Each structure stands twice: as structure tokens, then as C-alpha cells.
Amino acid sequence: MAAISFKDRFSAFRNLPAFFKMVWHTSPSFTICNIVLRLIRSAIPLAILYTGKLIIDQVVLLTHTAVSVSHSYLWKLVAVEFGLAILSDGLTRATNLVDSLLGDLFSNHTSIKIMQHAATLDLDQFEDSTFYDKLERARQQTVGRTILLSQVLSQVQDLITMLFLTAGLVVFNPWLILLLIVAVIPAFLGESYFNDKNYSLNRSQTPERRELDYIRYIGASDDTAKEVKIFNLSGFLADRFRQLSNKFYQDNKALVIKRSLWGTIFAILGSAGYYSAYIFIIATTISGKQSIGALTFLAGSFRQLRSLLENILSRFTTVSQGAIYLKDFFDFFEIQPKIKMVANARPFPKNLQTGFVFEDVGFKYHHSERWANRHLSFTLHAGEKLALVGENGAGKTTLVKLLARLYDPTEGRILLDGFDLKEYDLIELRREVGVIFQDYIRYQMTVSQNIAVGNIEEKENESKIQQAAKQSLADILVQKLPDKYAQALGKRFNQGVELSGGEWQKVALARAYMKEAQLLILDEPTAALDARAEYEVFERFTELTKGKTAVLISHRFSTVRMADRILVLDKGMLIESGDHATLLKQNGRYAELFNLQAKGYK
């Protein structure tokens, strides 16, 4: 990746106003408190140095005065310096506390914003690797940006402190400021160069780091443990992890070594500049042009200014780099869904009339040349039970995702009761379509929560949850669990109970019954059930969906034959349509698949 220019760095600062707007919305009170604490802290170093000057001048005066003089003024100055030291320490601790609390709140706030924005995006965007890189970078910024917050505020604080100390040096000798700047510029340029290299390296490694995290997960996870063992994958995964991690190590090692060597050279130059100024201050003190107290004040001011300027210039690189990283963060929020609610959207029909009509519908995935579906033209009538049949990759799941408007057609259109599906209220549409996919999620939550996700607005409605479980036959297994509906499922957390594949499937099916949806879609809903359980589930399904529209995908023809009509797909296209008996008579693809499956039972 190309190195970052100074123009890029300064341009990146335009991201800071939006960043601090988010910080302000996170907690106005903590933001104000942080600013006030830092403003007060910025004046403390000059006050301590000047008080120290007065103390030393007073001590010199007292030691060179033969007449007995009261020491009360000296002790008052010491008390003032002591009070300033205590105040400085207290302000530092208070600032760190506010920084920590504000940082935690900001991290939580931005994490929630990422989840909320991700929920608005299209399904096919989540299936794009470029999108995932942006999402991963945005996630990384939720923690990294809390550090940026502290760095920017520290930068402002140090700049104010520097102005105070600079005013003191200018009064004595303006040339010291010039010497100071010349001493720290090389270190600043070095830090800037190596931070650019580090940013470019980290950004270029994003896809590989995602792979590294993925391998780390599947290499030691309860979800993958059985296959890792049975296929003896541990060595393969460890070798791949070692290969990637060693590459990162070598790349980082080369950069760190160069940075360390050049950093040493720049530190020597900085020290030479400081001691040149120190010698000058000592010489002017010896010549009697200034007091011993002024010597300590100037030496202390120059030392602190050098440290502050180094920090400011070094932090400039880090802050500007952080501001560039902010672009990754804001870029994610600029990603907009293509599937949007139209203005004055139609309400979803209270009762379907004609149903769904596919008019020459085709869909192609992002970055794919192959059509997942093409030239689909058929009607899903209101109240009809429709089955989809076809080999893997025939486009069955894509079709139902189009029906639920998780995707929009690449070509053609889908009508609902005579109007384009895009014209309907998207929220109402999703509410009136109940879908259970074959790759449903096994939530590491309670039974009640696992079922309630089908209609999360009813998560407190225990009677509805229990009714849904009864309808899917999950209630029988729930009665066997120690904590019934409050039982945690999965082994990720303490006291969790793992279910068999068939038991999980019944819990997932219950989610479909949580909605009073007019269209129910079951994608391979009984793949993990035995023959008896499958028969019982579909007997119940047929009974519960009377008067409703339903679509089911299954490879089991004992299930498919229960449908009113069957669509046979091949390579994304509709090749046959009819009921079970009609399709057998046609002796086409359906009959071929049916006979192949039937042969296995003979």
C-alpha cells in the first residue's frame, strides 16, 4: 500500500469533528469534565517551575544575608509548591479516571452503533469479502478510538502547557525556542515515517488477520472439535496458523528493528540540542545575567518543553494516523443498503388475495458471473402449500430469500397481490413472513430466548413461547431439561446443556410459530429429524398452516408430496411444476429423483 503523505495526514483531521460529535453524544457530562480537568492541569507545570524559581532565589538570598530575616515567605512558597504537587497528582488521577470511563462508554456506544447499522444492510453485502474487511476495521476502531480520544485531548493539554512554558523562555531568550525546534524535528520526521509504514502494513494485513483469527477459532472450538479430531486437522490448522503468524512476525520485526535503530540516532540528536541549550543557560548564569533560580526555571522549562514538543510531534503522527483510521470507521457507516423502504410504502395486505407472482425473475450474486436464479415465472397462490425440489445449488434457498425480500431480483420483478414487492412496507413484510433456514443459529441462550428470537417483541410472552414450542413438538424435550424454559442451551457458558441436532431443529422450528405470519417458509426444516419425528412435524405443520401460504424445501419426497404443488429447479431455472402424481406421470427430473430416493428404501 502507498505511503501516507502529509497532505493525507492533515486531510484526515477533518474526521475529528465527527468523531468528537460521537464522543459528545456518548456522555456530554464526562466530555465537559475531561476538558475542564485538562485545562487546569495544563497550567500546573509552569506554576510549579516558577514557584521553584522563587524558592531557590529566596534560599540564595537568605544564605547571603548576614542580617537575620524571617523565613516565613520561604515556607509559604514551599507550601504552595507542595499544594501544587498534590493538586497535579489529583488532577492526573481524576483525568485518567474520566478518560477510562468515557472510553468505556464510547466503546460500548460505537459497538452498538455498528450492530445497529449492520442490521440495516443487505444480506448479499455480508457475503462480500470487501465488506467484511470494512466491518472488521470498524470493529477494531471501537476500542482503538478510545485511545485516540485520550491522545487528542492530551495533545490539546500539552499545547496549552507549552504555550505557558514558551512564554517564560521567550522572556529570557527567544533563541532557545529555535534551538529546541531544531533538536526535535529529526525525531518527529522519523516517527512520522515509521508510523506510516506501520499503518500501511496493518491495513494490508487485514484479510490475512481475519483468516488468522478464523483458524485460531476453529482450531480450539466446541463447534469444530469433533471434525478436528476425526479428520486429524490439528496439524494442518497449526501449520497454517504458524505460516501466517510467522509472516506477520517477520514483517513486523523488520519494521521494529529499523525503527529502534533510527530512534536511537534521533534521541542522540535531541539530547545534543538540549545540552547545548543547557550550557548556554549555565554560561549566562555564571556571567551574572540571571539568578540561580532563573537557571533552574529555564533549565526545567527547556527540559519540559523539549519533552512536550517531542510528545506533541510524535503524537501528531499517532493522532493523524488515528484520524486516518477513523476513515475506516466512518466508511463502514457510509455503506448503505440497496434494499430500502420506499416513500409512502404500501401496508402489507391483512389477507393475501392473489399471492406472489414471479415475472421472469433472475438473481446474480455480487462478484459472480453465474446466475443463481434465472427466468423464474410462476405464481404462489394465497393459501397454497408450495414445495421446492432440486439438487444442491439449484437455487431453492435463493428463491425463498427473494420471496422474503432478503435479496432484490437482478432482473424481472415479484408482485404481491398485483403490486411490486418493493412497494410494500419492508418492516411489515418481514413481520408477515416467517422463515427458518437450514443453517439456523444455535443461540447460546435459554430455551425461552432461543424460541423468542422468532418474534423478539414477544420475548416476555411466556405463554406464546410455550405455545410455539408445543406446535413444533419442542415442548416434550423442554420438560426433560432441569430448568425447563429457563435452561441455558449450548456449552459455551456455565450450566449450559447441549441438545442433539434433531432437538435443536425442533427449537428452531418453534421460532417460525412465534409469528402470526401469513407466509411461512421452511428451508430443510427436518434434515436432522428421524422419519417418525419428521412425519409428526409435518402433520402438525399442515394442520397449523391451514388457510396460510407456505413454502417448504426438502430433499425428502415423503415430505414434498404433502404439498399442493411442487416446483422442480435445475441450475436456478424452473423446469417442472405440478403435484406429486402429475410429476411422476411426466417421468422427468422429479420422477428421476423420486425413484433414486425410493430405491434406497427397497
Instruction: Say yes or no to pLDDT of 161 above 60.
Output: yes
Distance in angstroms (rounded) separating the CA atoms of residues 67 and 174: 38
Which pLDDT value is given to residue 6?
Answer: 57
Q: What is the mean pLDDT of residues 432-458?
A: 85
pLDDT-derived band at 15 (thresholds 50, 70, 90) equals: confident
Among 254, 260, 303, smallest CA distance to 278 is for: 303
Q: 3-state DSSP call for residue 556?
A: coil
Among 395, 419, 451, smallest CA distance to 569 is for: 395
Residue 347 burial by Cβ neighbours in a 10 Å radius (0-12, 13-18, 19+): exposed
Parse the chain into domains and list their residue ranges.
10-334, 344-432+555-602
Which pLDDT value is given to residue 223?
Answer: 67
pLDDT tens digits for range 112-160:
887 888 888 887 777 777 777 777 767 766 665 667 778 888 888 888 8
The count of residues in the chain is 602
Q: Which amino acid is at 470?
A: K
117: which strand partners?
none
Contacts of 294 by beta carbon, 8 Å cutoff, 6+ apart: 53, 57, 172, 285
Among 536, 529, 483, smallest CA distance to 508 is for: 529
Q: Cα angle at 353 between 342 and 458, to 5 degrees?
A: 65
- Most confident segment among 37-41, 216-220, 259-263, 277-281: 37-41
Q: Which amino acid is at 513?
A: Y
Phi, psi of 361 (to 5 degrees): -80, 135
Phi, psi of 577 (to 5 degrees): -155, 140
273: which strand partners?
none
What are 125's three cell numbers?
453485502
Which pLDDT value is given to residue 448?
Answer: 92
337, HSE (Cβ side, Cα atoms, 13 Å): 19
Our separate counts of H helices and E strands in the chain read 21, 10
Other beta carbons less than 10 A from residue 459's beta carbon: 15
Distance in angstroms (rounded) separating the CA atoms of residues 546 and 537: 14
Report H helices in 205-337: 206-218, 225-230, 234-286, 292-334
Q: Which amino acid is at 564?
A: D
Among 460, 458, 407, 400, smallest CA distance to 433 is for: 400
**Domain 344-432+555-602 in CATH 3.40.50.620:** no
Give the residue carrying C-alpha cell 434494499. 339
What are 297's three cell numbers?
526555571
pLDDT tens digits for range 479-506:
998 889 888 888 777 778 888 878 888 8
pLDDT tens digits for range 528-571:
666 677 777 777 777 777 778 888 887 777 778 778 899 999 88
| Beta-strand pair 356-364/411-416 | antiparallel
**Torsion from C-alpha of 56, 57, 59, 62, nearest 10 degrees:** 180
CATH architecture of 10-334: Up-down Bundle (1.20)
Instruction: Say yes or no to pLDDT of 527 above 70.
Output: no
Q: Which amino acid is at 450?
A: N
What are 195's three cell numbers?
508510523
pLDDT-derived band at 87 (thresholds 50, 70, 90) equals: very high
pLDDT tens digits for range 275-285:
777 777 788 77
With b for 16 or more beta-carbon neighbours within 10 A and e for fewer, the 420-444 pattern comes to ebbebbbeebbbbbbbbbbebebbe
CB-based contact 559:541 (threshold 8 Å): no
Distance in angstroms (rounded) separating the CA atoms of residues 29 and 93: 18
